[in-house]
Structure 1
Amino acid sequence: MPNSVSEPYDLVVVGAGAAGLSGAVTASESGLSVALLDASEHLGGQFYRHPAAALGAVRPEALHHDWSVFADLRRRLESSGVSRLAGHHVWSVTRDDDCWAVHAVTGADGDQERPVRVRARALLLATGAYERQLPFPGWTLPGVVGAGGAQAMLKSGLVLPGKKVVVAGSGPLLLAVAASLAAAGARVPAVVEASGYLRYARHPRALAANPHKLVEAVVHGGAMLRHRVRPLLRSAVTHVHGAERVEAVTVARLDRDWRAVPGSERRIECDALAVGHGLAPQIELATALGCATRRTVDATAALVLDGLQETTVPGVWSAGETGGVGGSRLAIAEGELAALSIAARLTGRSELPRGRHAGRLRRRRDRMRAFADALAAAHAPGPGWPQWLPDDTDVCRCEEVTAGRVREAVTDLGAGDARTVKLLTRAGMGWCQGRMCGAAVACLAAGGGEVPPPAERRPFAVPVPLGALAGLDPATAPSDPTDD
């Protein structure tokens, strides 16, 4: 039988990254009973990943900036009354009488198959984001990892993806990844950025209002200079070479629409490639509940939120990357603001979100959100990137669906959107449920590179073992969210 509490909490927070930690401790300090669920055994989410104690890292803070902020959140959590439920993979949320019922399975990979149900009067979703990948020939070779994945390997495992690592894609994360890999001993011959940085100049007010971001850029740039990392702007890795694993990459110059310029190709020897084209909000739990989404400036889907972080579904709040990718400081501000809003709703203390502190939080959030939007616009994929894809390139790695099969579904079989392509080809039906290929399939289905992946309503936000479903009490089991 599923494990559940006999009395509901005031608040369940899903996700123990920057936003979730901030929201949980603020809500607890405001007098609410709080449960904090996260799939990982460790606090901090992706941004504050850190090595397990068994690895004996002497200075884990050396791999992060703003470590003192995380240390303070962790201290506040330890001294609070928050019930921390680690290793809980949340796969569905349903309405249970007057409460939300959060369904999870336990274990490091959800493999213990023990179903858990946690009930609460309010829900805060802080589920973060995952990397957006745009495929190209050779991207399935061993040695090709996500840019954020390479950083996670270093932060949590103290290992490098290779000795000579090219960092490629688009977005400010690339600078941080290259700097940290080089500082840890990897040779980074190049950072290959598909966009440029001159577009930042189009948003002078956002830049001026966020000087700490400029300081971060200077720090990363200085590290790249010290380690002789070469930036290649308006360029992309268009082919990975190797027999058993990565041996080299081909880099080509791009035009304004991200089309490869003929004759501009160069070959760079390496044994690993860390690549990513920004982040996509992880919103499956929210969309399953019917929360409305919006298109972001860099062509992903994010949640529609009001001024106090509440979604379009009453009683459900969200903070962090789910509302648009913006970094840890923005996530912390949003988590705190959401917690004050929730506390006001549940306790009747309307002064909480109206006071001076809440006002400062809103201004800080708006300032950082404007900066995040400026960066996202500067690094948004251009419409010409599908030109990189020969027909024999795998787009969906899980189901081994090629670009040619997707194009055939569109041109010969009449598919006009990603969902129809999925039904005809199985693209997106594998273990990752479209997280790796969703953006590419949606773009190919629409005939361009500026279409966000669809925000589908799914009954399961993550894969769940059949044994866990079999162990559910039929009276509390989730129903199909499309049923009326």
Structure 2
Amino acid sequence: MPHPAPDRAEVAVVGAGPAGLAAAVTAADAGLDVLLIDAADAPGGQYYRAPAPGLGATRPEALHHGWDTFTALTARLDRHRATGRVRHLTGHHVWAVTRTGEDWTLHALTGPDGGEGAAPRARRLVLATGAVERQLPFPGWTLPGVVGAAGAQAMLKSGLVLPGRRVVVAGSGPLLQAVALSLARAGARVPALVEAAGYGAYARAPRVLAANPDRLAEGARHRAGLARHGVRMLTRRAVTAVQGTERVEGITVSRIDRAWRPVPGTGRRIDCDALAVGHGLVPHLDLALGLGCATRTGTDGSAALEVDEQLRTTVPGVWAAGETGGVGGVRLALAEGESAALSVIADVRGGRARPRAGALRRSRRRMRGFAALMGAVHRPGPGWTGWLAPDTEVCRCEEVTAGTVRTAVAELGAGDGRTAKLLTRAGMGWCQGHTCGFAVRALAAPDGEAPPDRRPLACPVPLATLARAARSEDV
């Protein structure tokens, strides 16, 4: 088989997190020429984020689960990079993918200021773009000392720093337990873990739990660890306000009903100097939506890609793996990355799927069942908007308040997130709605989740880069 040109590969994998790594090395193991492209400077994604080399960390594995799996994957990646079988492009932020004949062209920003560009091509495409944290605003959430739960974990993993000395962890979802335990082990005082849902809801699906004993064991280990560190578990409660002048000094925790409406008179203050808050993760779909891939609404209320048993999307020549198909954790991401690669291999070779593909599909179904249960248990209730005061900023980038969005709905006819954005600028800032999008859509269309916006650009792009791309082809 002839070796492809330097700017072309048989398969391109976008994202070097767990799913992307598994896909890239599996495809390379089978002899395919692979392009692995990622915005980060090192593989691992958000889950396997490692301390910067200059920090001199001697035991990065202490901050991770499954570090042996990651080191095995990176060892395989290094071997394939040495032979040229995998070309790993770091620091490349893909902002669009277009069709060029039978190939996909990946338009990427490079360089220290994002002002340079690259446009490698590949015959087949695997999207492993991961997820972003879902935030639900509340009074005081813009105060210094309030960070995302996943952000707090990233600070610890990559910078070896804590967001504060006395940190409350709040929101909803299993990630909170891992974050609270990591912070406590690193020396922070975690007075409480505030969970909006109730863990008892898991017991309503005994078959799903029985099929996933590893998740039960993991939960038990987390609960035991939190108890050893004196972390109180407060369920069916939410942070409804933050107190402080120049930074966080305390929070108000209120009991909420099953619709997540605050129960009047139940607010209690907890003193702290930092708050790590997040309500789960949602798939990062900008590239896939730009390609026209179909989505479905997951049990957690967020959009996820529609894929078949072989992880093929509805666009021919495009596969997806990991959180893009719905958030389900690292084990599922690893299995789907390998499964997607095996499907690509069969497509390239024109042969039948390898024997391991069947076992991976069965494992994937089992883990997807637990992911669906997890999404349903921790799905935000519609009453959470009752936390918001009229002057609560919903879009921090553009300083758009909840009252402004509600006025656009009541007086200007905004009935969806896109119209609300056009009328208020909510979502037009640097984050491009990744932080505020869920909240804006909930305020604009409270009776139903609107489909996600399809964007021509997956991130802010300099005009000079667009001009160069336009000269080479129509994007």
TM-score by length of 1: 0.95
Q: What are the superposed Cα offsets for residues 390-440 of structure 1, whole Å, 9 maximum, x if unpaired?
A: 111000111111101110111111111111111111111111111111111
**1:10 counterpart residue number:** 10
Q: CA deviation at 1:476?
A: 2.5
Aligned partner of residue 471 in structure 1, secondary structure? helix
Aligned partner of residue 385 in structure 1, secondary structure? helix
**1:396 counterpart residue number:** 395
Q: Is the CA contact 1:19–1:319 (under 8 Å) kept in the aligned structure 2?
A: yes
**2:46 counterpart residue number:** 46
Q: What are the superposed Cα offsets for residues 89-135 of structure 1, whole Å, 9 maximum, x if unpaired?
A: 01000001110000101135xx1411000100000000000000000
Q: CA deviation at 1:477?
A: 4.6
Superposition pairs for residues 325-474 of structure 1, below 5 Å? 325-352=327-354, 355=355, 357-447=356-446, 451-452=448-449, 454-472=451-469, 474=471
- Paired residues in the alignment total 468
User: Which 5+ residue runs of structure 2 have no aligned equivalent?
Assistant: none
Distance (Å, rounded) in 2 between the aligned partners of 1:442 and 1:85: 35
Q: What are the superposed Cα offsets for residues 129-169 of structure 1, whole Å, 9 maximum, x if unpaired?
A: 00000000000011110000000000011000000100000
Aligned partner of residue 362 in structure 2, secondary structure? helix
Q: CA deviation at 1:458?
A: 0.9
Instruction: Return the match for 2:169 from 162, 167, 170.
Output: 167
Counterpart residue identity of residue 423, structure 1: L
Are residue 296 (structure 1) and residue 295 (structure 2) matched? no
Q: Is the CA contact 2:312–2:318 (under 8 Å) kept in the aligned structure 1?
A: yes
Distance (Å, rounded) in 2 between the aligned partners of 1:180 and 1:7: 41
Counterpart residue identity of residue 408, structure 1: T
RMSD value, Cα: 1.3
Q: CA deviation at 1:383?
A: 1.1
Aligned partner of residue 469 in structure 2, secondary structure? coil
Q: What are the superposed Cα offsets for residues 209-268 of structure 1, whole Å, 9 maximum, x if unpaired?
A: 111111211221111111100011000000011111111100000011101111111001
Are residue 185 (structure 1) and residue 187 (structure 2) matched? yes
Q: CA deviation at 1:54?
A: 1.3
- Identity value in percent: 62
Instruction: Return the match for 1:90 from 83, 91, 94.
Output: 94
Counterpart residue identity of residue 428, structure 1: G
Q: Is the CA contact 2:343–2:353 (under 8 Å) kept in the aligned structure 1?
A: no
Q: Is the CA contact 1:51–1:156 (under 8 Å) kept in the aligned structure 2?
A: yes
**1:239 counterpart residue number:** 241
User: Which 5+ residue runs of structure 1 have no aligned equivalent?
Assistant: 479-484
Are residue 265 (structure 1) and residue 267 (structure 2) matched? yes
**2:258 counterpart residue number:** 256
Are residue 475 (structure 1) and residue 469 (structure 2) matched? no
Q: CA deviation at 1:202?
A: 1.3
Distance (Å, rounded) in 2 between the aligned partners of 1:338 and 1:63: 28
Counterpart residue identity of residue 42, structure 1: A
**1:204 counterpart residue number:** 206
Q: What are the superposed Cα offsets for residues 9-32 of structure 1, whole Å, 9 maximum, x if unpaired?
A: 100100000000000000111121
**2:151 counterpart residue number:** 149
Aligned partner of residue 79 in structure 1, secondary structure? helix
Counterpart residue identity of residue 142, structure 1: P
Q: CA deviation at 1:350?
A: 2.0
Aligned partner of residue 474 in structure 1, secondary structure? helix
Which segment drifts farther, 341-350 or 271-280? 341-350
Q: What are the superposed Cα offsets for residues 306-338 of structure 1, whole Å, 9 maximum, x if unpaired?
A: 110000000000000000000111001101111
Q: Is the CA contact 2:305–2:324 (under 8 Å) kept in the aligned structure 1?
A: yes
Q: CA deviation at 1:464?
A: 1.6
**1:37 counterpart residue number:** 37
Q: What are the superposed Cα offsets for residues 164-193 of structure 1, whole Å, 9 maximum, x if unpaired?
A: 100000000000000000000000010000
Q: Is the CA contact 2:342–2:353 (under 8 Å) kept in the aligned structure 1?
A: no
Counterpart residue identity of residue 405, structure 1: T
Distance (Å, rounded) in 1 between the aligned partners of 2:263 and 2:317: 51
Distance (Å, rounded) in 2 between the aligned partners of 1:75 and 1:148: 27
Cα pair distance change 1:287/1:112, threshold 3 Å = closer
Counterpart residue identity of residue 75, structure 1: A
Aligned partner of residue 382 in structure 2, secondary structure? coil
Cα pair distance change 1:337/1:259, threshold 3 Å = same
Cα pair distance change 1:28/1:6, threshold 3 Å = closer
Aligned partner of residue 443 in structure 1, secondary structure? helix
